[in-house]
C-alpha cells in the first residue's frame, strides 16, 4: 500500500486528503513443497497444524512460506474461498504461535465456520509457557483495543476507544522453576488476546518480546504459545473436536 505515493508500513494512520493506493489483490501462490501436518480432513473442511514462526497468511502476494500457500497447494478449491491472501482460512494464528488452524474448502462451509466463530460456538484451548507462577485458576474479562502508542500491540481498552470484549480462562498445569505451563481457553477471538491477558496478569508468554515476555532461546519470531485444541459446534454440522500435543521446541523448555 502507498500513501501519497510513498510505501508505508502496516498500521500507518491516514488523514483527510491523503491519497491511498492499494494494489490489486491476487491470490497467494501455491507451494507444494511445504509440509504441514493435516490433523483432520473432510470433504469441505480440514484442520492443519501450523508450526511456530510461520505466518498464517501473506500480507503481500509475493510473500512465500505461509500456511495459506500450503493450503492452496493441497486443496486448490480453496482459492475461491475467503480472502485471496488467506484462502480457506476460517481464522488466523499469530506468526509466533503454533497449532491448529481450520480450513474451509467451500464457500458454504466458510460462511458456517465464520458464523460459528462470531457466535462463540468454537472453544479454543491453548497451552502456554509463562513467566512466574500464575494462580491455580483465574478468569480475565478485559476489553482490548489497539495501543495508541504502538499499532503493533493491543492493550486494555480505555474509555471512549473502539474496543472488543474478551474473556480468557487460565488454569496452571505445572510449575517448572521460574516458569509455568498453563492451559488457556477462549471463545472470543480478539487479536493477541491470550498474549495480552497473560501479560496483564503479570505472567507474559516466554519469548513474547512484544508483551514483555523474557527470552527463552526459541527460534526468532517464536514464542511459547500453542493452539492445542478446538471444539466446533456449528449448526447443521456434527460436533468436531481436535487436539494437538505440545510441540518439541516448547516441551524442551519444560525439561
Residue 72 to residue 58: CA distance in whole angstroms: 12
Contacts of 75 (CB under 8 A, 6+ apart): 46, 88, 103, 105
Torsions phi, psi of 247, nearest 5?
Answer: -70, 165
Query: Three-class SS of residue 208?
Result: coil
Task: For residue 123, indicate whether it is catalytic.
Answer: no
Q: Which residue has the cell 527460534?
A: 219
CB neighbours of residue 179 within 10 Å: 21
**Does residue 99 contact residue 227 with C-beta atoms inside 8 Å?**
yes
CB neighbours of residue 24 within 10 Å: 6
Instruction: Enter the DSSP assignment of 56.
Output: S
**Does residue 185 contact residue 133 with C-beta atoms inside 8 Å?**
no
Q: Exactly one of 18, 44, 60, 94 is catalytic; name it.
A: 94
Which residues are known catalytic residues? 94
Amino acid at each position: 500500500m502507498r500513501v501519497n505515493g510513498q510505501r508505508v508500513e502496516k498500521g500507518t494512520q491516514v488523514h483527510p486528503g491523503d491519497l491511498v493506493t492499494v494494489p490489486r489483490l491476487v491470490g497467494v501462490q501455491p507451494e507444494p513443497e511445504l509440509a504441514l501436518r493435516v490433523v483432520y480432513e473432510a470433504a469441505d473442511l480440514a484442520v492443519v497444524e501450523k508450526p511456530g514462526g510461520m505466518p498464517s497468511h501473506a500480507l503481500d502476494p509475493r510473500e512465500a512460506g505461509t500456511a495459506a500457500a500450503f493450503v492452496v497447494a493441497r486443496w486448490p478449491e480453496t482459492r475461491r474461498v475467503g480472502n485471496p491472501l488467506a484462502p480457506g482460512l476460517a481464522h488466523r494464528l499469530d506468526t509466533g504461535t503454533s497449532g491448529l488452524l481450520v480450513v474451509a474448502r467451500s464457500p458454504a462451509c466458510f460462511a458456517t465456520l465464520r458464523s460459528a466463530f462470531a457466535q462463540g460456538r468454537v472453544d479454543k484451548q491453548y497451552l502456554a509457557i509463562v513467566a512466574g507462577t500464575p494462580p491455580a485458576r483465574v478468569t480475565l474479562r478485559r476489553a482490548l483495543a489497539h495501543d495508541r502508542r504502538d499499532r503493533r500491540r493491543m492493550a486494555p481498552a480505555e474509555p471512549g476507544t473502539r474496543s472488543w470484549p474478551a474473556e480468557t480462562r487460565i488454569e496452571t498445569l505445572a510449575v517448572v522453576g521460574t516458569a509455568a505451563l498453563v492451559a488457556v481457553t477462549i471463545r472470543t477471538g480478539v487479536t493477541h488476546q491470550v498474549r495480552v491477558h497473560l501479560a496483564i496478569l503479570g505472567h507474559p508468554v516466554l519469548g513474547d518480546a512484544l508483551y514483555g515476555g523474557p527470552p527463552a532461546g526459541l527460534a526468532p519470531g517464536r514464542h511459547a504459545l500453542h493452539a492445542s485444541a478446538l471444539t466446533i459446534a456449528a449448526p447443521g454440522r456434527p460436533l468436531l473436536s481436535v487436539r494437538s500435543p505440545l510441540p518439541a521446541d516448547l516441551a524442551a523448555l519444560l525439561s
